[in-house]
Each structure stands twice: as C-alpha cells, then as structure tokens.
Amino acid sequence: MNDKNTLKGTTTVGITCKDGVVFATERRASMGNLVAHKVAEKIFKIDDHIATTIAGSVADAQSLMKYISAEVVLYKMRNGERISIESAAALSANILHSSRFYPFFVQTLIGGVDDDGAKIYSLDPAGGMIKDKFVSTGSGSPFAYGVLEDRYTDDIYVEEGVDIAIRAIKSAMERDTYSGNGILIAIVTEEEGYRMFDEDEVQKRLKEII
C-alpha cells in the first residue's frame, strides 16, 4: 500500500467525557520514508452530533466517510430523528464488513453525543466494533496510550479531555516517525454539537500544558 493514496502510520485519539467526546490527530501523511503531506485531514464531521477519525488509505477513508454521511442523512429523513451513536457505529461496521471483495484499509473511530450520553467506538477494517472510554489508533498509539492510561478518569469533562488528547498526540509525535506536522482537535457536545478547533486555539492550549 505504498501508493499516493496511502496514509502510513498516523496517530488518532478519542476520549469519552461526561459532557461529550474529544477527538485528536496529528497531520502527517507518509509514503514509506517520504513525508507526502503535512496538512492531512484525519477528523471528519458526519453530523452535528457525530464525528470520526481515520487511519489508513486516504482513498478508502474518503469513500467510507461519504458512505457513512449519506446513510446518516437517509436515516434522519426516513425516521425523522437523528441516529444514535451506537446505530451509526453499527451501520459503519456493516459497510466495512460487507465490503470483503473490496476491503477498506482503514481503522476508524466514531463517536459523539446522543440521548444516552457520550460514546466512542473503534472499528477495524473487517467491521469489528468495540465501545471504549478512550482509544488510540495508528503507529503512534503505544505512546499515546501511555498518556491516556496515566491521565484518564471517568469523571473528566471535555475541557480537561482536550488537554489530555493534546498531550497524547504530542507524545506520539515526539517518538513516532510517521506522526507529526501539527495537531487537529475536534469536540462534540450536546450544547455545541461538533466543533473543530482552529490552529490558534490548538497552539494556545499546547503552550499552556507544556
């Protein structure tokens, strides 16, 4: 998978908080030893209450995001209500599992806030679906997990979760060759819905926690 459509490596983080979820990724896209792109987008808005992260093939990830977004819109049109996070994750898992003749080479985190609270699920390329309180994917995940295991507690709020996510991605960027070139942060809360932090916000938070 060393073609122009491949993201090798990557670090993504998802954290479930009492009032929402936090997603974070770095921005490097690599092909072998080449840093192919320094501004890769790895967090996607699916709906006002759902977001995802991706690690893997760029082309496959873009196609998968389009499929998921379309299905979520269709669900809302047919049922007159927003889809639950669990249903969105199950739908995504079914898409992955049913594509065995053209597998999606991606690892995905999907999460957000619904009537039952905040949730995050991790999905593997075969359609496996696991709910977790915090999770990291990609080549930098062992370094990110060191921070997550040390700092996560069940009673954190999004404000604190953002700092933990930044620390986790920063740790991965310092040790993983395939992770780097900046940090993306997005949150989903019942009050705000989906919000992506701008670069100035991320840099300010980064300076505050160093």
10 is catalytic: yes
Nearest alpha-carbon partner for 92 in 115, 75, 113: 75
Instruction: Give, to the nearest 10 degrees, the angle between helix 158-175 and helix 199-209.
Output: 80
The H helix count followed by the E strand count for the chain is: 5, 12
- How far, in whole angstroms, is CA 149 from its chain's centroid? 18
Q: Note the helical H segments in the chain.
A: 58-79, 85-97, 141-151, 158-175, 199-209
What are the sequence ranges of the domains in the chain?
A: 12-204
Query: Which pTM was predicted?
Result: 0.91
Question: Residue type for 84, please?
Answer: S
Q: Tokens in use for 80?
A: 């007159």
Q: Tokens in use for 197?
A: 């932090």
Q: In this predicted structure, what is the pLDDT of residue 57?
A: 79
Nearest alpha-carbon partner for 19 in 190, 206, 203, 153: 190
**Angle (CA) 43 161 200, round 5°:** 60
Question: Residue type for 37, please?
Answer: H
Distance between CA atoms of residues 170 and 149, nearest Å = 15
Span 12-204: which CATH code? 3.60.20.10
Instruction: Give, to the nearest 10 degrees, the angle between helix 85-97 and helix 58-79.
Output: 130
Distance between CA atoms of residues 15 and 198, nearest Å = 19
Distance between CA atoms of residues 66 and 91, nearest Å = 13
Per-residue pLDDT of the chain (210 residues; tens, 9 = 90+): 344 444 456 899 999 999 999 999 998 777 666 676 777 889 999 999 999 999 887 788 888 999 999 999 999 999 999 999 999 999 999 998 886 656 788 899 999 999 999 999 999 988 899 999 999 998 899 999 999 999 999 999 999 999 999 999 999 999 888 788 899 999 999 999 999 999 999 999 988 887
Q: In this predicted structure, what is the pLDDT of residue 99?
A: 66
208 by Cβ neighbours in 10 Å (0-12 / 13-18 / 19+) ranks as exposed
Distance between CA atoms of residues 58 and 63, nearest Å = 9
Phi-psi region of 28 (alpha: psi -120 to 50; beta: other; left: phi over 0): beta
